[in-house]
């Protein structure tokens, strides 16, 4: 495992590009998953998407304190409710802002064995799922921030 460099908004254009689906879960994807988990933990984050380490593949890792979640080709298939809360991003250091997200989402994805999985998240997990899946389409939380709520810190 290795810690990879986290791409920074304003400097690394890759953050604005759309990631491609993973066609085959090979050794490189497994290594990417391992490195992303290590990089996320090292940076003290709760989620990381592959474009944030410069790889345009639809791969996400999340850990909101309930254990590591690895998602390949994730898709939000259901969303309900609404929550408003502060969000930050490892690729946009030094700022936070409020974003409105669904309170609950259901996500379909593949795990590292290539098996179909479904996970339902509420609260912080729902927020993290939405934030990371947005990264796969080049969307950043600052695009959705409630006007006037972006602050340093």
The residues assigned a catalytic role are: 132
The residue (of 15 and 109) whose beta carbon lies closer to Zn ion is 15
Nearest 5°: phi and psi at 138?
A: 75, 15
**What gap in Å lies between CA 96 and CA 17, rounded to an integer?**
22
Q: How far apart are CA 31 and CA 115, in angstroms?
A: 18
| Tokens read off for 144 | 């959705």
Between 93 and 114, name the residue whose CB sits nearer to Zn ion.
Answer: 93
Q: What phi and psi, each to the nearest 5 degrees, are found at residue 72?
A: -115, 130
Identity of the residue, 89 or 99, whose beta carbon is nearer to Zn ion in the bound complex: 89
Smallest gap, in angstroms, from Cβ of residue 118 to Zn ion? 23
Q: Is residue 128 close enough to count as binding Zn ion by CB under 5 A?
A: no
Site for Zn ion in 61-100 (CB under 5 A): 89
Q: Which residues of this chain interact with Zn ion, rule CB under 5 A?
A: 89
């Amino acid at each position: 495992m290795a810690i990879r460099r986290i791409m920074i908004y304003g400097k690394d254009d890759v953050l604005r590009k759309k990631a491609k689906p993973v066609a085959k879960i090979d050794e490189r994807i497994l290594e990417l998953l391992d490195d992303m988990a290590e990089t996320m933990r090292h940076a003290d984050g709760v989620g990381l998407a592959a474009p944030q380490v410069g790889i345009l593949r639809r791969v996400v890792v999340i850990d909101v304190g309930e254990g590591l979640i690895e998602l390949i080709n994730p898709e939000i298939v259901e969303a309900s409710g609404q929550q408003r809360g502060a969000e930050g991003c490892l690729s946009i250091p030094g700022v936070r802002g409020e974003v409105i997200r669904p309170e609950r989402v259901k996500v379909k994805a593949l795990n590292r064995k290539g098996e179909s999985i479904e996970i339902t998240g509420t609260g912080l997990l729902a927020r993290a799922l939405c934030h990371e899946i947005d990264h796969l389409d080049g969307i950043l939380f600052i695009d959705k921030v409630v006007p006037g709520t972006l602050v340093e810190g």
